[in-house]
Amino acid sequence: MKMSEKLNIVIVGTGYVGLTTGVVLGYLGHRVTCVDQDMAKIDKLERGISTIYEPGLEELLIQSAAQVKFTKDLLRDLVDAQVVIIAVGTPAKENGDTDLSYVEAVAREIGMAMDVLKPPLIINKSTVPVGTARRVETVICEELEKRGQGCHFSVASNPEFLREGSALYDTLYPDRIVVGANDINALNLVRQMYAPILEQTFNPPQSVPRPEGYSLPALVSTSPTSAELIKYTANAFLATKISFINEFSAIAEKVGADIVEVAKGVGLDRRIGAGFLKAGVGWGGSCFPKDVRSILFTGSQYNCEMPLVQAALEVNRRQKLKAIEKLQQLLKVVRGSTIGILGLAFKADTDDIRESPAIEVIKTLLEMGARVKVYDPIAMKKYRQTYADQQVVYCGTAEDTASDADALVILTDWDEFLHLSWAEMGATMKNKVIVDGRNMLDREQLQQAGFTYSGIGR
Ligand SMILES: NC(=O)c1ccc[n+]([C@@H]2O[C@H](COP(=O)([O-])OP(=O)(O)OC[C@H]3O[C@@H](n4cnc5c(N)ncnc54)[C@H](O)[C@@H]3O)[C@@H](O)[C@H]2O)c1
């Protein structure tokens, strides 16, 4: 096997992870088939239109078009596949456990159609609890047995660490690639798939240049169980780091310190690092909330208490309501007031609103009897589709949102909000009050424009 040889790869699940991975692997020269059960997604992708907002993705989609095809039909393309990557969703159940029904459904389909004479390597990229690589193997074997076939294939675990908003960058220039495999052939095939990234032999796309000083990523080779746990450990740590600075933002407010300066002074310590030390209205998104709850569920199954992670979750629950507390302090009466919300996405540069702090804040404001106006540069369509019943006023611009408002609340750190003309916007408001839930604005500039400014922990 030559490391430079290109592979036939099938990716099942064409969401944030599957689509990014597919497009990048295609760009690197592999022949990729992206499968999704959602026909509307496949239709759009076939026409070269991205189904998610991710900077640079649409350009790369066009550049890799010859290498990547999209289909709804897994069975047909499985025949030639050397690698099948599972990248479907793994949402949380009510009790915090992970819903593996999508993963298992894919495993069953693979077992029904796999060519037993040339079995592909199955790679699990979805975030899944420990033991899932084995579970996938069992499900595929059950289907093979029904076909009277033996069980000769491997399942490797290859957790994904990309961040929405910089998904292409993270995939092309990762810090590390983690592979959990029980046999050397499986490991070598994963190594071959990622060879252009591990060795950085590709020409960087124009929209995602290689960062200066980037050093080759490590390949962490381990057992499937450790690989699965690495993903949860990483996400629980990052979520805890944010909750940690959020907890300190409360004491900063009490003693009259500025958490932005505190975080800067702390983050310059290389043992700590500056990332994930931004105080704000709490973490959300499609990963941290469900992954934190999932590892707590696993802990409970093993009678293993995880008080630190539990506390991170509790701090975050309270943090999401900080914006409401601040509005109550500043306006006194929220009922009957008009509140403008700037930002619906759980963070900037994505259209993902899953578990976004905005959801909780808007729901609470509506329950309190406020009139709520909202604006987000990208995520508004998704929010409107998901919360069609909510009585909120959708605005075309940040300026429209400000008009007649008693207060503005920033919930997503979109760059666009840095460049607004606050003096002009303030002139159209009933009260010049702003709650900066992401500590992103220049407090002095806002105060000079006549605003009462309230950040988080400052
Ligand atoms: N989004 C992230 O930033 C991120 C980062 C790292 C890891 N992950 C993990 O990666 C996994 C996927 O996340 P995502 O955000 O890409 O999910 P997503 O919801 O955006 O996409 C999942 C896709 O799988 C498709 N699907 C479901 N069942 C299918 C089936 N049987 N056949 C074909 N397609 C099927 C869905 O239609 C959907 O398009 C999750 O386990 C998640 O935790 C996500």
Burial pattern 74-103, b for ≥16 Cβ within 10 A else e, equals beebbeebbbbbbbbbbebeeebbbebebb
Tokens, residue 257: 């310190």
- Furthest-apart CA atoms within the chain: distance in Å: 77
Name the nearest CA neighbour of 374 among 358, 351, 357.
358
Put the strands of the sheet holding 433-436 in their side by side order: 393-394, 371-375, 338-342, 407-410, 433-436, 452-454
Residue 410 near residue 342, CB atoms below 8 Å: yes
User: DSSP letter at 345?
Assistant: S
Residue 340 near residue 405, CB atoms below 8 Å: yes
- Active-site residue among 34, 287, 304, 395? 287
AA identity, residue 97: D
Q: How far apart are CA 78 and CA 57, in angstroms?
A: 25
What pLDDT is recorded for position 78?
87
What pLDDT is recorded for position 172?
98
- Give the Å distance between the CA of 103 and the centre of ligand 1: 10
Put the strands of the sheet holding 68-71 in their side by side order: 68-71, 31-35, 8-12, 83-86, 121-124, 155-157, 176-180, 218-222
Name the nearest CA neighbour of 291 among 127, 93, 160.
127
Tokens, residue 394: 């959708």
What pLDDT is recorded for position 204?
97
User: DSSP letter at 5?
Assistant: -
Tokens, residue 158: 């290859």
For ligand 1, whether the C-beta of 102 sits within 6 Å is yes
* pLDDT (tens digit per residue) in 76-119: 888 899 999 999 999 999 999 999 999 999 999 999 999 999 99
- Give the Å distance between the CA of 35 and the centre of ligand 1: 11
- Give the Å distance between the CA of 261 and the centre of ligand 1: 37
Distances (CA, A) of 269 to 258, 274, 357: 18, 8, 29
- Give the Å distance between the CA of 331 and the centre of ligand 1: 41
Q: Give yes or no: 34 in active site.
A: no
User: Closest ligand 1 atom to the C-alpha of 52?
Assistant: 20
Burial class (CB in 10 A: 0-12, 13-18, 19+), 4: exposed
* pLDDT (tens digit per residue) in 60-88: 999 999 999 999 988 788 889 999 999 99
Tokens, residue 306: 């995880």
Burial class (CB in 10 A: 0-12, 13-18, 19+), 452: middle
What pLDDT is recorded for position 2?
74
> pTM of the entire structure?
0.95
User: Closest ligand 1 atom to the C-alpha of 88?
Assistant: 24
Q: How far apart are CA 60 and CA 284, in angstroms?
A: 28
- Tell me the HSE value of 455 on the side-chain side, using a 13 A CA sphere: 25
Nearest 5°: phi and psi at 394? -85, 130
Torsion of CA 165, 167, 173, 175, to 10 degrees: 90
What pLDDT is recorded for position 1?
63
Name the 3-class secondary structure at 68.
strand
Q: Quick count: other Cβ atoms within 10 Å of Cβ 367?
A: 8
User: Closest ligand 1 atom to the C-alpha of 128?
Assistant: 41
**List of the chain residues with pLDDT < 50:** none
Q: Quick count: other Cβ atoms within 10 Å of Cβ 143?
A: 18
Q: Where are the alpha helices (DSSP H) in 33-148?
A: 39-46, 57-63, 74-78, 101-113, 132-146
Ligand 1 pocket test, candidate residues 88, 163, 170, most atoms within 8 A of CB: 88
